[in-house]
Amino acid sequence: MPKPTVPSAEIVAKKWGDVTPGRAGYYESNATVAGGAWETGAAAASKAYKAGVTVADIDKRFTGGIKKAGAAKYNRKVKDVGVGRFGPGISAAVPDMKDGVAPYLAEIANVELKERGARGDVTNYMRVQAIGEALHKKRIASLAAG
């Protein structure tokens, strides 16, 4: 039997790099309305997620993926992709950051703190502990929401 003709990885990558950026409109029109399907599918996959992250040797697989990508790729992608997206990404995330941090700031505002002690006094650490405990409870409660 004859073998199929397969283009080289170089040719495939070049074509992908030439053609795919022109598909941004297609991406925008489809991805911006896919949130409902994503949410439904992601929520339905919770058992599969748990099975995946508890499979034997997952730590070795995780480490293997890191080593395969390597520091050089990480650094290259930060420089070539991350830096240019950093500012616009932050700007786009301002409403999400506000919504995400607001409940925690409200929680801190509701913590009743003991009076501040002298420098180095254990009561000062207890003030920090009270805030930490309140924030931990809030985080755990928010993770269980839904």
* Residue 146: per-residue pLDDT: 53
Q: pLDDT-derived band of residue 4, with 50, 70 and 90 as boundaries? A: confident
Q: Which residue has the tokens 């992608």?
A: 77
Tell me the Cα Rg of the chain: 24
The string of pLDDT tens digits covering residues 7-33 is 999 999 999 999 999 999 999 999 999
Contacts of 138 (CB under 8 A, 6+ apart): 103, 104, 107
The string of pLDDT tens digits covering residues 106-143 is 999 999 999 999 999 999 999 999 999 999 999 999 99
Residue 126 CB neighbours (<10 A): 13
* Residue 129: per-residue pLDDT: 97
* Residue 144: per-residue pLDDT: 81
138, 100 in Cβ contact below 8 A? no
User: Regarding predicted confidence, which is higher, 3 or 118?
Assistant: 118
Look up the pTM and report it: 0.68
The string of pLDDT tens digits covering residues 51-97 is 999 999 999 999 999 999 999 999 999 999 999 999 999 999 999 99
